[in-house]
Structure 1
Amino acid sequence: MKKIIDAHIHLDRYGLESVNEYFSADDTLQLVITVSKDFNSCMNNLRLCLNDRRVQPAFGFHPEQDLPSDRELEDLFNWMAAHQDSMVAVGEVGLPYYKKKDSGGSPLNNEKYIDMLEMFILHAKQWNKPIVLHAIYEDAPIACSLLEKHSISDAQFHWFKGDTKTIERIASNGHYISVTPDVVYKQKTRDLVSAFPIGQIMVETDGPWPFEGPFQYKKTHSSMIHKSIKTIASIKKLAINETYQLLYQNTFAFFSLN
């Protein structure tokens, strides 16, 4: 069986009556890493996990939103500390590229976003957890510098976009990338896969984010990953079964899954 793991999904946003409803659509889907947007999202993902262990949660605060208050952030860290045994990673965390772009420049609190990211990095190190990053384009080198500062190698740059120099930096530091179904129809993503070591690649959907190309107008589901893997196998000139196995093992090892 060509088993898959969805390395990055927002499962709590699907409004499922049962987790089995999602998994039953593809019997090759073994596990999903469901990332969190905020405190409520963390709690919802924990509930999903407690109901079905095929759901593996990451807890964090998505950067493309207003900063939490100091008290809210403290409450989140305290809750994460209390539930650290239930999470496989810290995430989704990072820097607000799109929020900055929409505002026409740097947010007034950009340094505070950087400080918050560093706090999450420090907590991930304290809890011995990998970290799931939203850090693209010019934000990625900032994230790399913070990871280097604190000697963190277990980082996943999800749906990464950036220049060649940063791609090489991420790879040489032992970090991972996770690739969405847009690899099927976007040349930039295909070029990223071509340049990156196969041993440091995972596959994801970032669902329920909608995709184009052959997936246009379709509800995002982890089953789309099969087309991603076939494309990656073609780019890397690997046998399809070997590609399935490598991507599965990469994800399984990175998140220390059981």
Structure 2
Amino acid sequence: MFDRIIDAHIHLDRYTPDERSLILHEMEASGVDELITVSNDLDSARKNLQLTRDDSRVKPAIGFHPEQPLPPDEEIADLLALIDYHQQTIAAVGEVGLPYYLRREGKAGSRDVSIDILDLFIQKAVELDKPVALHAIYDDAPVVCDLLEKHSAAKAHFHWFKGDRKTAERMVGNGYFVSVTPDVLYREKTRELARKYPLEKMMVETDGPWPFEGIFAGKMTHPHMIHQSILEIAGIKRMSAGEVYERLYDNTRWFYGV
């Protein structure tokens, strides 16, 4: 049975050095071929670029994670310049999006500024023909769809998507991808997404080092957890595990060009 995997969304730079070494050392034995490691800010991007210089299985993306204070203009300019300079190396622009959780807590800055920043990153992805890895959930997702449509950005990846059926149908119609995390084993909303979203537009991720519950409680988030996610997705979709493994692997290779 085909059982190779790619982690489509991980924050490898945010693990401790020992944890990173363990993950990289165990990749082959765990059936993990590549890691798409997204960046949180300028320092994070530089760390991820160094990680790929040290290990070619690490595929970096450069962006600014929205769930943090708004950056100075200079940092956004530096990130866009870094994307330009390393366009042959990076797999994508990301992680970028809108600050849903900060806004819910009343800690987000100007929504218009957040939208303007995201717009710049989407424009850069389109200019360089790169995928964009998105943090866009609930009522932010339609706004992000508007921006993607505005710029005719076709290669959009809504990681760990949470949203309503109407938005999900819009995303399917536009050919956007989603990725499923290990919480598919215990969270009904994720299971429903896995049930309804087309396998042809799906990937799998850990979003590590984000921790999980259920059988993963108390454990370091490791890409090998994706194997259990895939078996669960196969059961949900009533398909053979081998077919689901191969489809998800091919989806990720095509989408990120790895």
* TM-score range normalised by the length of the shorter chain: over 0.9
C-alpha distance in structure 1 between counterparts of 2:152 and 2:124, whole Å: 13
Are residues 1:52 and 2:55 paired?
Answer: yes
C-alpha distance after superposition, 1:77-136 (max 9, x if no partner): 1122111111000000000000001117xx441100000000000000111100000000
Are residues 1:38 and 2:38 paired?
Answer: no
One-letter code aligned to 1:210:
P
Asked if structure 1 preserves the Cα contact closer than 8 Å seen for 2:69 and 2:109, the reply is no
C-alpha distance in structure 2 between counterparts of 1:150 and 1:4, whole Å: 31
Aligned with 1:95 (options 93, 98, 107):
98
Aligned twin of 1:137: 138
Aligned twin of 1:75: 78
Asked if structure 2 preserves the Cα contact closer than 8 Å seen for 1:16 and 1:22, the reply is no
C-alpha distance in structure 1 between counterparts of 2:186 and 2:47, whole Å: 33
One-letter code aligned to 2:251:
N
1:115-154 residue pairs with structure 2 within 5 A? 115-154=116-155
C-alpha distance in structure 1 between counterparts of 2:138 and 2:190, whole Å: 13
Aligned twin of 2:12: 11
C-alpha distance in structure 2 between counterparts of 1:198 and 1:100, whole Å: 32
C-alpha distance in structure 1 between counterparts of 2:185 and 2:176, whole Å: 23
Aligned twin of 1:247: 248
Gaps of 5+ in 1: none
One-letter code aligned to 2:227:
H
C-alpha distance after superposition, 1:130-162 (max 9, x if no partner): 000000000000000000111111000000000
C-alpha distance in structure 2 between counterparts of 1:147 and 1:240, whole Å: 33
C-alpha distance in structure 2 between counterparts of 1:101 and 1:250, whole Å: 33
C-alpha distance in structure 1 between counterparts of 2:141 and 2:46, whole Å: 28
Cα distance, 1:236 vs. partner?
Answer: 1.0
C-alpha distance in structure 2 between counterparts of 1:214 and 1:111, whole Å: 41
Aligned twin of 1:86: 89
Q: Name the SS for the 2:83 alignment partner.
A: helix
Give TM-score, length-normalised by structure 1: 0.96
C-alpha distance after superposition, 1:13-45 (max 9, x if no partner): 112259553133342011000000000000000
C-alpha distance in structure 2 between counterparts of 1:48 and 1:153, whole Å: 28
**Aligned residues: CA RMSD:** 1.3
Aligned twin of 2:187: 186
C-alpha distance in structure 1 between counterparts of 2:43 and 2:141, whole Å: 27
Asked if structure 2 preserves the Cα contact closer than 8 Å seen for 1:178 and 1:202, the reply is yes
Q: Identity, % of aligned pairs?
A: 51
Aligned twin of 1:167: 168
One-letter code aligned to 2:133:
V
| Structure 1 stretch displaced more, 16-25 or 241-250 | 16-25
C-alpha distance in structure 2 between counterparts of 1:23 and 1:4, whole Å: 14
Give TM-score, length-normalised by structure 2: 0.96
Aligned twin of 1:215: 216
- 1:120 to 1:150, Cα distance in 2 relative to 1, 3 A: same
C-alpha distance in structure 1 between counterparts of 2:74 and 2:37, whole Å: 25
C-alpha distance in structure 2 between counterparts of 1:246 and 1:79, whole Å: 32
Aligned twin of 2:205: 204
Q: Which runs of 4+ in 1 moved over 3 A?
A: 17-20
C-alpha distance in structure 2 between counterparts of 1:138 and 1:71, whole Å: 29
- 1:72 to 1:20, Cα distance in 2 relative to 1, 3 A: closer
One-letter code aligned to 1:197:
P
C-alpha distance in structure 1 between counterparts of 2:214 and 2:44, whole Å: 30
C-alpha distance in structure 2 between counterparts of 1:8 and 1:113, whole Å: 22
C-alpha distance after superposition, 1:174-199 (max 9, x if no partner): 00001100001111101011110000
Asked if structure 2 preserves the Cα contact closer than 8 Å seen for 1:23 and 1:29, the reply is no
